[in-house]
Amino acid sequence: MNENVFEKSVEGRRGVIFPHLDVETSEIPEWIARKSPIGLPSLSQLDVVRHFVRLSHKNFSVDTHFYPLGSCTMKFNPKINEYAGSLDGFINIHPYQDSTQVQGALEIIYGLENALGKITGFPHVPLAPNAGAQGEYVGVTMIKKYFESRGESRSIAIIPDSAHGTNPASAVMAGFKTIQVKSSDRGMVDIDHLKQLLTKDVACIMLTNPNTLGLFEEDILEISDLLKKNGSLLYYDGANLNAIVGKVRPSDMGFDVMHINLHKTFSTPHGGGGPGCGPVCVSEKLKDFLPYPKVIKHPEKGTYQLDSSREKSIGRIRWFYGNFLIILRAYVYIITLGIDGLQKVSELAVLNANYVKERLKKIFHVPYDKICMHEFIISMKSIKSDHGVTALDLAKRLIDDGIHPPTIYFPLIVQEAMMIEPTETESKETLDHFITIMEAIYADILKDKAKVQGAPYNTPVSRLDEVKAVKEPKLTV
């Protein structure tokens, strides 16, 4: 079937008839008038619908395919959250409306702040940041202002060698220098190396727990104690929060500030750059530096309003207050599941990851073979050495079997890495199907590696020159 919609065009066909214009017309100024036809194809409505539906079937999505994308928690999200996010009373309000007209929306914001505060153990939770990375930037900016308010000019942020790339980027944007702490042979922060790095110039350490290897930092309390004795703060990257919700609170680990990826942990289909929301949760010592505005509740009237009265605030980080429809979806998700349901989410995420790991480690190398959290790493290093098949080859081959490839070549400390996160929403049958496919691909590697090296075969295009695509993007047809 021809996929070029322009070649389907037949002069005179149309899919929409516009209603009669019932307002007075006026001449369009010549300087903005189109000089040539717009060039749209002439198609019936049926042809348009079929064209775009066919194109949609070529896409991978959580609703259509298994999506074990490590470190991103690409899980199925309950449709009731999408339903709530489409209600007229929510989609037809505007941030500039008077607070008396949007009390329901402000109550939802206030309610989610309180819920996230209980989940994380932090009493102050502004929802304004539009993404996890922006939440990181807000958090480290508050850390910088905290030390400035104390007359300290600490300039260093310690970053683990397994950290997400946004960690050093956010720290540098906030004005810090970054230094890297090594991982031990257990996949954790190397305590001895950390001790060597600690000076009075260290403002903070940025940690993900569980880390990007899918391992819980067993020495977190010792790390926290070392930083606090040094007068430094601890920043928690909440990207992997899906593994510990309802089980352990970042504040109890000793952290001072964190961000949450609502679109990962608390329900929003995401990818392709958005939509996102990255609330920041802070301890009492950082509350004066929170961005404004903040939703507050009148103690007697029970009404809600936005408050911007903060002298030491880092300021407004975006014009409106957060990505409201993402906030709404997260709130629906949390109140629907309740604390017992949220704990079950974490339990199943960890169970599914360990089940897949234990099955796959029989044929693929797992460099850190211990109980993992919600994700784990396999390495194709030895297979590449023995057979010439890379992590990229394996990822491309999975596409032919209808499975979205996991994250590859991250974290950087593992050569030929593939990070697998099955998430809590997948059934055992789906996991077994994925394992069977991985076993079949391994058999192909041993018997006919060219079948794997040449994949994918069932896609509109096969291998693209990814370096050329980045350097010379083709943005027009």
Q: Quote the CA–CA distance of 421 and 73 in Å, as a whole number.
A: 7
Spell out the per-residue pLDDT of the chain, length 477, in tens: 557 888 889 999 988 888 888 998 888 888 998 888 888 899 999 999 999 898 888 888 888 899 999 888 889 989 999 999 999 999 999 988 999 999 999 999 999 999 999 999 999 998 989 889 999 999 999 999 999 999 999 999 999 999 999 999 999 999 999 999 999 999 999 999 999 999 999 999 999 999 999 999 999 999 999 999 999 999 999 999 999 999 999 999 999 999 999 989 998 877 665 678 899 999 999 999 999 888 999 999 999 998 888 889 999 988 777 889 999 999 999 999 999 999 999 999 999 999 999 999 999 999 999 999 999 999 999 999 999 999 999 999 999 999 999 999 999 999 999 999 999 999 999 999 999 999 999 999 999 999 999 999 998 888 888 889 889 888 775
Cis preceding linkage at 275, omega within 30: yes
Query: 233 and 245 in contact (C-beta within 8 Å)?
Result: no
DSSP state of 204: E
Integer Cα distance of 426 and 137 in angstroms: 33
Distance CA 373, CA 244 (A): 8
CATH 3.40.640.10 domain residues, the chain: 81-335
65 and 399 in contact (C-beta within 8 Å)? no
Residue 380, Ramachandran bin (φ over 0: left; ψ between -120 and 50: alpha; else beta): alpha
DSSP string, 19-32: PPP-S---PPPTTT
Which amino acid belongs to residue 4?
N
> On the CB side of 78, how many CA atoms lie within 13 Å of its CA?
17
Q: Give the type of residue at 475.
A: L
How far apart are the C-alpha atoms of 405 and 172, rounded to whole Å?
31
C-alpha to C-alpha distance for 228 and 210, rounded to whole angstroms: 20
> Residue written as tokens 């004795």?
229
pLDDT value at residue 259: 97
| The CATH number of domain 81-335, selected from 3.40.640.10, 3.30.365.10, 3.40.50.720, 3.90.1150.10 | 3.40.640.10
pLDDT of residue 2: 56
Any residues with CB less than 8 A from the CB of 323 and at least 6 apart, and which? 130, 275, 276, 277
Per-residue DSSP letters for 44-108? -HHHHHHHHHHHHTTS--TTTSB--BTTTT-----HHHHHHTT-HHHHT--TTS-GGG-HHHHHH
Distance, in Å, from the CA atom of 376 to the CA atom of 368, rounded to the nearest integer, reads 8
pLDDT at 209: 96
Task: Give the closest residue to 178 by CA, choosing from 197, 159, 199.
Answer: 159
Closest CA to 85 of 57, 101, 103, 105: 105
CB 123 within 8 A of CB 311: no
Q: Count CB atoms within 10 A of the CB of residue 47.
A: 17
**Residue 339 CA to chain centroid, in angstroms?**
22
Within 10 angstroms of residue 59's Cβ, the number of other Cβ atoms is 10
Give the distance between the most distant pair of CA atoms in the chain: 78
β-bridge mates for residue 418, sequence order: 378, 408
The pLDDT value given to residue 27: 86
Q: What is the pLDDT of residue 477?
A: 59
110, with CB counted inside 10 A (0-12, 13-18, 19+), is middle
Cα separation values, 168 from 140, 180, 209, 273, 371, Å? 10, 9, 16, 20, 28
**pTM tops 0.75:** yes
CB distance 411 to 377 below 8 Å:
yes
CA-to-CA distance for 415 and 407, rounded, in angstroms? 13
The class of domain 344-471 in CATH terms is: alpha beta
For CATH 3.90.1150.10, list the domain ranges present in the chain: 344-471
Which of 138, 193, 465 lies closest to 317 in space, CA to CA?
A: 138
Count of helix runs (H) and strand runs (E) in the chain: 16, 11
